[in-house]
Structure 1
Amino acid sequence: MIEFRFDVGDLATTSFAYSPLQEAAFSLRSLSDPGRYPHHRPWLRRIGPRLDALDRELLTALVAPWLWVPDFLTPRPDRARPVFADELDRVRETPPEVVAADLRAAYRTEDALPPVVARGLARPDRLLVRLTDALDAYWHTCLAPDWWPRAQSVLEADLAYRGRVLAERGAAELLPGLDGRLSWTGSHLRVDTRDFLGQVPWADISVAGRGMVLLPTLFARGAQFLIDPARPPVLIYPARGRATLAEQPPPVSDQALVRLLGRARTRLLLLLAEPASTTELAHRLEVTPGAVSQHLAILHDVGLLTRTRHGRTVRYVRSPLGDDLCR
C-alpha cells in the first residue's frame, strides 16, 4: 500500500494533463509484452514492419521486465497538453548522472541491465543522444501518423469526463473513481500495490504543497506513479474509453437511419458516442478531413451533435437528440 498525504490546499493544486511523450515511452511496454495490451493489437500489426528500420534493441531495453520505465523519460508535464517535441527537448537536457541513476533504478540491480544499456552507461551522455533520437524516430514512424490522433481523442474525452465528475460530485468521488486500486480517506490517497509486478520499496509520500498531476494513459492496467518518490507527485491511471482504440468503424446498413441521413453521416453519428476531432474521424474512416468536416457541420446544424473547443482542436459528440436517434 502506498499513501499520498495531502495537506490543506493540496487538492486545490491537483490538476489533470496528458503527455504524448509518456504515451510514447509507455507504448514500448506493448512491444515487450503485447498480450497485456489487447486494445493495441491492430496498431501493433500495422507498425510491425516499420520497427525494423528503428533502434529496436534500445527501445525495448527501456522497459524493465516488471514494466517500469525510467523516470527521466516521463517528466511531469508543465502544462495540460504539452507537445511531443517540447517534452523530448526536456529529456535531452537530462544530466548524464540522472540518466544513469534512473535506468539503474528501473532495473533495480546492475546485473539486470540489458547489454545495450550496460554498455551505454559507460557514456550516459552519448546514450542519452542515441535514446532521444530513437524515441523521436519511433514517434514519427509509429505513433504520430495515425495512432496519436485517435489516442489524443480518448485522452481528451477522459479529461472532459473527469472535469464533469469533479464539478458534480467533488474530489472525494473523483480520485477513487480513477482506478480500482485507489481509495480516499479524507486526507490520504491510497494505492493498493498487491498486484504490482515489481515490489515497491516505499509506502508514504507527502504532496506537501508541490501539487499532484493526474495523467491518464492508454498503456496501464492500473494506477501507478513515478519510481522516485522525491520527485514532484504524479499519479498515472488507465484512461477511460481506451478499448475504443481496437474498434473498427461501424458497418453501414440499409436500415432507416441510413435512409434518413445517408451512409457517411450515419457512420459518423454512430462513431460519435465518444468525443472525437475531425482529424481523428478522418483517420478512422480513411477519408479526407474536408469531407468529414462538411458532414459534421450538417449534423451539428440539425442538432444531432454538440461541439467543444480545446485550443485549436474542435471535438464533436452526439447530442441527446443524436443518442435518441441512434437508439
Structure 2
Amino acid sequence: METGLSFSAADLAQTRFAVSPMWEVVTSFRLLRSAADAPPHGRWTAQVRPRLVRAGLDRGWLAELVPARGYLADFLNPTPATPFPSLDDELSAIRRTTPAQVRRDLELFAAPVSPRLRVLLEAPEAALEKITTEIEAYWELALAPYWARLRALLEADVFHRARQVAEHGSARVLGELHETVRWDDGTLRLIRRHCTLTRGETGSGLLLVPSAFAWPRVLTRSVPPDPPQLAYPARGIGNLWEPRATASTDAVAAVLGRSRTMLLTELDTPASTTQLAANVGLSAAGVSQHLTALRDAGLVSAHRSGRSVLYARTAVADALLAPEGPGR
C-alpha cells in the first residue's frame, strides 16, 4: 500500500524538525513490550526491561495506550512547539488533551475499550494526570539515565539534515529519510503503510522527528489541525549503545582523583551504587561519597528506579573523557 502527502510551496516552507522526548517514550515502550530484542537496542533492553517489570509499568496506563503492535494513541505525541521541547513541555500538552481527542483516539483501538480506558473516556482530566505521572516514572527508569547519549544522537541527525537542506534543498532530504519514503514531483510518498497520510486530513507543513527507537520503520501522526508528524530512524543507531572510547584518564585523574575517574569510566552504562562498588572494588559508602561529589560538580546525574538510584554520566563528563580529536 502507498499513500502520498502533497506539498505546496507553503507546506515546504513550514516543514521543520524537532527532537521529541515523547516519541522516544512511546517507541521505546513498544520495543520493550515486543517479544524480540531489536539488534541495535539489545544492551538497552537487557538493562531496562527488568526494571520495567519490577516497577509494574508493563501493566499500567502505557501498556493500554501503547500496544506491542497496531495503533498508538495520538494524544501521547502532541505537536512540539519548539525544536527541542522538554519532557515537561510535552506532558503539559498531554494534560491539555480535549475530551474530543480522547474519544477519537479510543475509537481507533481495535479491541474493546478496557475498564482502565473507560475511566479515561469518562473522566479524562483525572486519567490524564495519572498517565503523565506514569510517564514520568517510566522516563526516570528507562530513558533519563541514557538521555545525554540519546539526545546527542537525535540532535546530530537534525543538524546533519538541516545542513543537507541548506546545501541540496528539502526535496533531497525528504527523499533520503527512509527506504519506505520517497519524494516524487511535489508529493512525499509512503510505501507499504497501513495507515493513510494525505494532505486533506492534516494541517499545513510537516514535522520530521528523528527517533532512536522507531527503527526499523517510520511512524506517522495525523491529527487536524496540527501538521502531520513523521518519526523516522535517526542516523547512527547501529552504534548508539556501543561502549564509548575514552581518552587516557591520567590527566583527568590528576584533577578528580583516580577513584572518581574510575567511577566515571564505569558509568558508560548507568549503574547503582552497589553495582559500581562491585565493579571497581570500593566500599558502597565510599562510592556513595564520590558520586555525591561528582553529582555536585555536574558530572553525573541520579535517577530513581524503584528502591534504587541509577547514576549516569552527563554530557559534561562525556566531553571530559572524550579522546582528543580534530574537533577538540
TM-score with structure 1 setting the length: 0.72
Q: Aligned in 2, Cα 1:294/1:123: closer, same or farther, shift over 3 Å?
A: closer
Q: Aligned in 2, Cα 1:230/1:64: closer, same or farther, shift over 3 Å?
A: farther
- What CA distance in whole angstroms lies between the structure 2 residues aligned with 1:211 and 1:163? 16
Shift of 1:159: 0.9
Q: State which of 207, 217, 237 in structure 1 corresponds to 2:211.
A: 217
Q: Aligned in 2, Cα 1:149/1:67: closer, same or farther, shift over 3 Å?
A: farther
- What CA distance in whole angstroms lies between the structure 1 residues aligned with 2:3 and 2:95? 31
**Residues 54, 134 of structure 1: 8 Å contact kept:** no
Q: Aligned in 2, Cα 1:88/1:285: closer, same or farther, shift over 3 Å?
A: closer
1:40 paired to 2:41: yes
- What CA distance in whole angstroms lies between the structure 2 residues aligned with 1:131 and 1:186? 42
Name the amino acid aligned to 1:3: G
Q: Aligned in 2, Cα 1:47/1:212: closer, same or farther, shift over 3 Å?
A: same
**Residues 72, 102 of structure 1: 8 Å contact kept:** yes
Provide the residue aligned with 1:270 in structure 2: none
Q: Deviations over 1:102-142 (max 9, x none)?
A: 1332x1x352x455324543433332222111111111222
- What CA distance in whole angstroms lies between the structure 1 residues aligned with 2:47 and 2:147? 14
Provide the residue aligned with 2:268 in structure 1: 284
- 1:187-266 pair list within 5 angstroms: 187-192=186-191, 194=192, 196=193, 199-200=194-195, 202=196, 204-206=198-200, 210-220=204-214, 221-228=216-223, 231-250=226-245, 262=248
Shift of 1:283: 4.7
- What CA distance in whole angstroms lies between the structure 2 residues aligned with 1:224 and 1:33? 16
- 1:32-181 pair list within 5 angstroms: 32-35=33-36, 37-51=38-52, 52-57=54-59, 58-105=61-108, 107=109, 109-111=110-112, 113-118=113-118, 120-144=120-144, 146-181=145-180
Shift of 1:65: 4.5
Provide the residue aligned with 1:24 in structure 2: 25
Q: Aligned in 2, Cα 1:8/1:282: closer, same or farther, shift over 3 Å?
A: farther
Q: Aligned in 2, Cα 1:4/1:293: closer, same or farther, shift over 3 Å?
A: closer
Shift of 1:211: 2.0
- What CA distance in whole angstroms lies between the structure 1 residues aligned with 2:179 and 2:146? 27
- What CA distance in whole angstroms lies between the structure 2 residues aligned with 1:38 and 1:264? 35
- What CA distance in whole angstroms lies between the structure 1 residues aligned with 2:317 and 2:241? 24
- What CA distance in whole angstroms lies between the structure 2 residues aligned with 1:291 and 1:178? 32
Report the count of equivalent residues: 270
Q: Deviations over 1:186-213 (max 9, x none)?
A: 3111111x2x4xx32x353259872211
- What CA distance in whole angstroms lies between the structure 2 residues aligned with 1:7 and 1:173? 16
Q: Aligned in 2, Cα 1:218/1:68: closer, same or farther, shift over 3 Å?
A: farther
Provide the residue aligned with 2:184 in structure 1: 185
Q: Aligned in 2, Cα 1:208/1:117: closer, same or farther, shift over 3 Å?
A: closer
Q: Deviations over 1:244-268 (max 9, x none)?
A: 2231235x8xxxxxxxx74679xxx
Q: Aligned in 2, Cα 1:49/1:32: closer, same or farther, shift over 3 Å?
A: closer
Shift of 1:30: 1.0
- What CA distance in whole angstroms lies between the structure 1 residues aligned with 2:153 and 2:320? 23
- What CA distance in whole angstroms lies between the structure 1 residues aligned with 2:102 and 2:160? 36
SS in 2 for 1:167: helix
